[in-house]
Amino acid sequence: MSYYLGRLGAARRQRKAALSLEGELKKRKTTRRGHRQVPTKPDELAEAAAAYGREMAIDAFRPLTKAQRAHWDRARRNPGRPRRGKGVKVISVSVEQDVLVESDRLATRLGLSRARLIERGLRMMLEEAGK
């Protein structure tokens, strides 16, 4: 009888261990927000890193298709913002807060950026001073 109870206990422990391991693996796959977790055990880490351990990863690459090549060429042609005039210089200017709020409202009403509004004001002042 005790033999039977011992076997029954061992079977229960095995099922319980299997269920807890399965639950632990399910938990480990993703976090609450859906991000994958980093493996913590050596064998899990080795399995996750196996794809990066190959010597010649370049063998898996292939030539670009026509669509991919066109996309790549477009991306290389547009290196950043378009130039205006001889280019722009970023500066730091101190302005009273009330004046800044008023100028932002004016820029919004005119459909301009703050920088464009200041640039227009400077050009007007330079033209007047040049007369």
Written as six digits, the tokens of 7 are 């076997």
- pTM for the whole structure: 0.40
CA gap 57, 47 in Å, rounded: 17
For 93, residues 6+ apart whose C-beta sits below 8 A from its C-beta are 118
Residue 123 belongs to a domain: yes
pLDDT class for 85, splitting at 50, 70, 90?
confident
Give pLDDT tens digits for 87-104: 788 899 999 999 999 999
Token pair 């196996």 in the structure block, residue = 50
* Total domains present in the chain: 2
Residue 112 belongs to a domain: yes
Residue 59 belongs to a domain: no
Residue 70 belongs to a domain: no
Residue 60 belongs to a domain: no
Which of 34, 50, 66 is the C-terminal boundary of a domain?
Answer: 50
Say whether pLDDT at 109 is over 60: yes
Taking only Cα atoms into account, the Rg of the chain, rounded to an integer number of angstroms, comes to: 33
Give pLDDT tens digits for 37-63: 666 788 887 877 776 776 766 777 888
The whole-number pLDDT of residue 44 equals 80
Supply the range of the domain harboring residue 16. 1-50
Residue 9 belongs to a domain: yes
